[in-house]
């Protein structure tokens, strides 16, 4: 796999690294991965409140999500995106999810570091938490940017016919509507920003082929890896939090038992 880093967990095509993202990325050879999905910090943990399960709770996710200055946030995004460019194959693509708190910086950083944005996917949530402050419209969407290297002759994977087939034989649009992550996907534990499997299934089916190698540099509970394993792809996830990696392992082992 072009990896010199010792794995925290390794089982066939599902591997986890416990380390700082930048240290782990540095251990990969150039052009290692066919696809990257990243759900980086949104930097929205500013001591505000939100609603979860009908209860008022803090928006704070952890130290990794604490608010940064505009320049510090952008420098962080440029740094990890630059490394992702290096380890991504020339015909590979990268998907990055975010909200208004970070997605505009990410879009700029992608272009500054040599990527070209292919699509701006809007993920519309059917059951978003209510806006308790009542000072804005309810936040019910996230953005997922899909990008490729800005090279003249690089052909990237897009399984157009499959996406059309999955959409009742109509061209699939760039607005995807799903619920928040289902309780059945949290049986082994909860991660504060866990994505629905349905979203990762679609991303992986759209832009990879079987046996491709997928990287998630901020893997959390490894929804990317669970989807990859279901769809016969290979996966490496990185996180500096062992609790999240242990949750990833429990999810993977549950998948194997099914």
pTM, entire model: 0.89
Token pair 């046996």 in the structure block, residue: 211
- Give me the residue spans of the domains in the chain: 31-213
- Chain-centroid distance of CA 209 in Å reads 18
pLDDT digit string, tens, across residues 142-157? 999 999 999 988 899 9
| Residue 133, CA distances (Å) to 5, 60, 212 in order | 45, 16, 45
Q: Which of 191, 247, 240, 186 is nearest to 218 (CA)?
A: 240
Cα–Cα dist 84/207, whole Å: 16
DSSP 14-47: EEEEES-HHHHHHTBPTT-EEEEEE------BSS
Question: How is the chain split among helix, strand and coil, in percent rounded to 5?
Answer: 30, 30, 40
Model pLDDT, residue 58: 46
Tell me the backbone φ, ψ of residue 67, rounded to 5 degrees. -60, 140
Q: What's the token pair of residue 32?
A: 């290692």
Model pLDDT, residue 62: 55
Cα–Cα dist 245/47, whole Å: 26
Model pLDDT, residue 57: 47
State the 10-residue block means of pLDDT for the chain, 258 residues long. Answer: 71 94 95 98 63 47 64 95 98 97 96 98 94 89 98 94 98 97 90 93 98 98 97 97 96 90
CB 240 within 8 A of CB 18: yes
DSSP 31-100: T-EEEEEE------BSS-EEEETTEEEE----GGGB---HHHHHHHHHHHHHHHHHHEEEEEEEEEEE-T
Model pLDDT, residue 142: 97
Provide the CATH topology of domain 31-213: Rossmann fold (3.40.50)
CB 112 within 8 A of CB 85: no
């Amino acid at each position: 796999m072009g990896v010199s880093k010792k794995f925290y967990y390794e089982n066939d095509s599902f591997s986890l690294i416990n380390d700082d993202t930048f240290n782990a990325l540095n251990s990969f050879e150039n052009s290692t991965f066919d696809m990257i999905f990243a759900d980086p910090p949104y930097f929205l943990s500013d001591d505000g409140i939100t609603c979860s399960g009908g209860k008022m709770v803090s928006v704070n996710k952890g130290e990794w999500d604490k608010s940064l200055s505009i320049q510090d946030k952008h420098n962080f995004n440029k740094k990890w995106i630059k490394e992702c460019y290096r380890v991504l194959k020339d015909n590979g693509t990268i998907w990055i999810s975010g909200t208004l708190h970070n997605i505009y910086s990410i879009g700029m950083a992608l272009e500054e570091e040599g990527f070209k944005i292919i699509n701006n996917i809007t993920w519309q949530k059917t059951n978003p938490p209510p806006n308790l402050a009542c000072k804005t419209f309810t936040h019910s969407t996230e953005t997922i940017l899909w990008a490729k290297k800005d090279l003249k002759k690089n052909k990237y994977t897009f399984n157009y016919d499959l996406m059309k087939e999955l959409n009742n034989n109509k061209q699939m649009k760039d607005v995807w509507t799903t619920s928040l992550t289902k309780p059945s996907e949290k049986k082994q534990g909860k991660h504060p920003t866990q994505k629905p499997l349905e979203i990762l299934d679609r991303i992986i089916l759209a832009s990879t082929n079987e046996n491709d190698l997928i990287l998630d540099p901020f893997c959390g509970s490894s929804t990317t890896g669970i989807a990859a394993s279901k769809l016969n792809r290979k996966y490496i996830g990185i996180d500096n939090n062992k609790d999240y990696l242990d949750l990833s392992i429990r999810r993977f082992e549950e998948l194997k038992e099914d």
